[in-house]
């Protein structure tokens, strides 16, 4: 095949290529020439035919040689014609492809301009929405304010409790029971799902439902679409709404602070008190007393005067919504009946021998960096497993914070999900271990001998039992605040599992705890002496009377012991 752009010049076929008898005449050298205007294929035929015509007069020319030459020339001419047509087809296809490419480029350019126009439209729409949002939010807030002012017009105040974690239900159980026994309150409990760091979706409503059912608490189930849940809540028309915590990210967005402002929102904190220096949010506020939920709440009930002082100092409302009442969880723990989760039949001790020692290990969820950073499970887990495995005369109950369980699925976790699950499986295989989560823990604490913990709430709550408390302190955690500095004086601080193990051995052997008296002082000073529920009801009745324009029904009760 020729190279495009180069004229094709076939080699003339010599008519003497076949043997010719010696007596025959040779083909004259002056045979007809090819016209200058002939195409390459025509030139071949012309040369062959002319040569044949010139040779006919010679009777000595071999006919077979002429035929062979003619056929060979024809084949060559046809090959050239086919090649030229093929090249023409290729050229036309190339031109068509180039045309299509140019058209595609024009289309792509048009699509790009259309996409850019669409993006501009979206951006302009977003700007319009952002410009309109303040006005819309102001309208919503005004409507919610009007709704709140219309509350308390029933004889019985309707109070809704939203429960996303049954493990901290102790803060509300006695309060709900007390309200149900009055003629001026109508409590309604509802289970809702939650979402902790590491979980990809809302979950856990079924756990809450099961836990409330086991405790005999009548309740509604808000497990479906969050928007439908909010509409249902508005249909219930509560005067007051209690949530379990101030953290909006832990619950469905539709049940966040701003969405519930049509009612009088309240809080009994799930933790008894805050013991660490503030972990700031985007506003650098003290989230222990001045989160968005605190700011907009009607009432926040706190355990002691030190928490009130913190709210006055750090809160944008100067603590106007805070009331000191003690804490229902503390009262509940004080009254807990001892019950150990490892059943007696599983023990290998002979009858009549002393029971095994009982150690509770409480692990906080903050094992990553960037929050309070007290959690040390990732640092302790292997040594704790070895300790339990080597101590057949001691039983261990692992109490992980509920938010620790999904955290290994987060990209900030220092341990992976397979590592965590493998450790949990190894722990469960030991005959002297158990795991306690998503359930009431007061009876377990009451039945234990020693606690090992990395913080936070257990540093306060375990001191109610007057038993040895060992604090495994992780390096680099948030500093204690003034309350925390007082609390940690009732705990034995260690920095290795080996230290915790040695202290535990001594206490289980009968060595008295030198901090026991100090713990009693801390518990009385920071958690009062009981009847927090009665004080909460007194505050609610007093504030409701003020909303109605009525006189105070009763003087407040003292929290002093």
Alpha carbon distance 485, 220 (integer Å)? 41
Written as one string, the DSSP assignment of 166-198 is GGGGGGTHHHHHHHHTSSSEEEEEEE--B--TT
Residue 125 has a pLDDT of 58
Which of 454, 463, 449, 465 lies closest to 503, judged by CA? Answer: 449
Average pLDDT, the chain: 82
Q: pLDDT by residue (tens digit) across 314-336? A: 999 999 999 999 999 999 999 99
Q: pLDDT by residue (tens digit) across 333-386? A: 999 999 999 997 544 445 556 899 999 999 999 999 988 999 999 999 999 999
Q: pLDDT by residue (tens digit) across 43-87? A: 433 333 344 334 444 443 344 444 445 545 555 555 555 556 655
Residue 393 has a pLDDT of 95
Q: Is the pLDDT of residue 196 over 70?
A: yes
Q: How confident is the model at residue 109 (pLDDT cuts 50, 70, 90)?
A: low
Q: pLDDT by residue (tens digit) across 199-245? A: 888 999 999 999 999 999 999 999 876 668 999 999 999 999 999 99
Which of 238, 246, 244 lies closest to 279, judged by CA? Answer: 246
Per-residue pLDDT, averaged over 148-160, amounts to: 89
Residue 122 has a pLDDT of 55
How far from chain centre, in Å, is Cα 229?
22
Where is pLDDT greater, at 443 or 134? 443
Residue 456 to residues 365, 459, 471, 524, 546: CA-CA distances in angstroms? 10, 6, 10, 19, 37
Provide CB contacts within 8 A for 305, sequence distance 6+: 324
Alpha carbon distance 490, 4 (integer Å)? 96
Lowest mean pLDDT among 18-22, 356-360, 443-447, 525-529: 18-22
> Cβ distance 264 to 241 under 8 Å?
yes
Q: How confident is the model at residue 41 (pLDDT cuts 50, 70, 90)?
A: very low
Residue 366 has a pLDDT of 96
Per-residue pLDDT, averaged over 119-124, amounts to: 61
Residues present in the chain in total: 561
Per-residue pLDDT, averaged over 479-488, amounts to: 96
> Cβ distance 70 to 48 under 8 Å?
yes
Q: pLDDT by residue (tens digit) across 292-303? A: 999 999 999 999
pTM of the full structure: 0.73
Residue 7 has a pLDDT of 36
Residue 249 to residues 113, 164, 170, 195: CA-CA distances in angstroms? 39, 12, 22, 7
Alpha carbon distance 356, 449 (integer Å)? 10
For residue 258, the number of C-alpha atoms closer than 13 Å in the C-beta half-sphere is: 9
Per-residue pLDDT, averaged over 489-505, amounts to: 98
Q: How confident is the model at residue 285 (pLDDT cuts 50, 70, 90)?
A: confident
Where is pLDDT greater, at 42 or 266? 266
Domains of the chain, with CATH numbers?
150-326+531-548 (3.40.50.2000), 343-527 (3.40.50.2000)
Residue 60 has a pLDDT of 39
Q: How confident is the model at residue 150 (pLDDT cuts 50, 70, 90)?
A: confident
């Amino acid at each position: 095949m020729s190279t495009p752009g180069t004229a094709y010049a076939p080699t003339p076929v010599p008519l003497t290529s076949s043997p010719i008898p010696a007596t025959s005449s040779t083909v004259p050298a002056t045979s007809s020439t090819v016209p200058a205007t002939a195409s390459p294929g025509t030139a071949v035929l012309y040369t062959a035919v002319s040569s044949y015509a010139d040779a006919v007069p010679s009777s000595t020319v071999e006919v077979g040689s002429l035929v062979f030459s003619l056929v060979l020339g024809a084949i060559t001419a046809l090959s050239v014609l086919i090649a030229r047509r093929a090249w023409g087809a290729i050229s036309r296809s190339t031109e068509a492809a180039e045309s299509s490419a140019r058209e595609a480029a024009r289309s792509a350019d048009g699509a790009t301009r259309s996409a850019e126009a669409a993006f501009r439209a979206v951006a302009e729409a977003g700007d319009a929405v952002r410009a309109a949002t303040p006005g819309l939010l102001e309208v919503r807030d005004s409507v919610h304010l009007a709704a709140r002012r219309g509350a308390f017009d029933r004889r019985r105040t309707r109070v809704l409790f939203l429960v996303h974690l049954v493990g901290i239900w102790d803060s509300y159980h006695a309060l709900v029971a007390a309200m149900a026994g009055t003629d001026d309150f109508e409590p309604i409990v509802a289970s809702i799902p939650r979402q902790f760091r590491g979980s990809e979706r809302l979950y856990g409503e079924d756990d809450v439902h099961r836990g409330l059912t086991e405790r005999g608490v009548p309740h509604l189930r808000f497990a479906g679409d969050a928007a439908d849940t909010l509409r249902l809540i508005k249909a219930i028309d509560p005067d007051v709404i209690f949530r379990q915590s101030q953290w909006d990210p832990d619950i469905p967005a539709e049940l966040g602070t701003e969405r519930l402002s049509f009612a009088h929102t309240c809080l009994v904190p799930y933790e008894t008190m805050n013991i660490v220096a503030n972990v700031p949010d985007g506003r650098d506020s003290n989230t222990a007393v001045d989160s968005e939920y605190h700011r907009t709440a009607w009432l926040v009930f706190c355990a002691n005067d030190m928490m009130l002082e913190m709210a006055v100092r750090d809160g944008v409302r100067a603590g106007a919504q805070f009331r000191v009442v003690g804490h229902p969880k503390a009262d509940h723990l004080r009254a807990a009946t001892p019950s150990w989760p490892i059943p007696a039949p599983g023990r290998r001790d002979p009858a009549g021998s002393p029971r095994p020692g009982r150690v509770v290990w409480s692990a906080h969820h903050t094992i990553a960096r960037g929050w309070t950073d007290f959690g040390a499970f990732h640092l302790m887990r292997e040594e704790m497993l070895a300790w339990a495995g080597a101590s057949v005369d001691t039983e261990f109950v692992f109490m992980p914070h509920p938010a620790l369980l999904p955290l290994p699925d987060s990209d900030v976790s220092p341990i992976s999900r397979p590592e965590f699950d493998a450790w949990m499986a190894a722990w469960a295989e030991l005959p002297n271990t158990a795991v306690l989560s998503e359930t009431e823990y007061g009876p377990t604490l009451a039945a234990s001998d020693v606690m090992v913990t990395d913080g936070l709430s257990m540093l306060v709550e375990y001191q109610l039992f007057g038993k040895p408390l060992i604090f495994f302190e992780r390096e680099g955690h948030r500093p204690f605040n003034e309350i925390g500095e007082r609390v940690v004086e009732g705990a034995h601080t260690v920095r290795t599992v080996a230290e915790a193990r040695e202290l535990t051995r001594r206490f289980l052997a009968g060595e008295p705890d030198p901090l026991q008296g100090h713990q009693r002082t801390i518990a009385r000073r920071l958690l009062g002496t009981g009847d927090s529920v009665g004080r909460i009801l007194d505050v609610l009745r007093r504030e409701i009377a003020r909303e109605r324009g009525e006189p105070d029904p009763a003087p407040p009760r003292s929290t002093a012991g």
